[in-house]
A = this chain, B = another copy of it.
Amino acid sequence: MKTLNFIEEGQYKDKGMGKLLIHDSPYFKMLNFNFEAGQELPVHAHDIEGQLAITVAEGGGEFLGADGATIPAKQGDVLTSDIAEPHGFRASERTRLLVFIAPPI
Q: Which residues does A use to contact B, with CB under 8 Å?
A: 1-8, 22-23, 25, 27-28, 30, 49-51, 53, 55, 57, 63, 65, 71, 73-81, 85, 87, 98, 100, 102-103
Q: Take A28-B28, A78-B23 as given contacts and tell me if A53 and B3 are in contact as well, using a CB distance cutoff of 8 Å.
A: no
A89 to nearest B CB, angstroms?
A: 12
12 A-B pairs with C-beta separation under 8 A:
A1-B79, A1-B81, A2-B80, A2-B81, A3-B79, A3-B80, A5-B74, A6-B78, A23-B53, A28-B102, A30-B53, A30-B80
Number of copies of this kind of chain in the complex: 2
Residues of B within 8 A of A87 (CB): 1
Q: Give A28 to B52 CA distance when docked, in angstroms.
A: 9
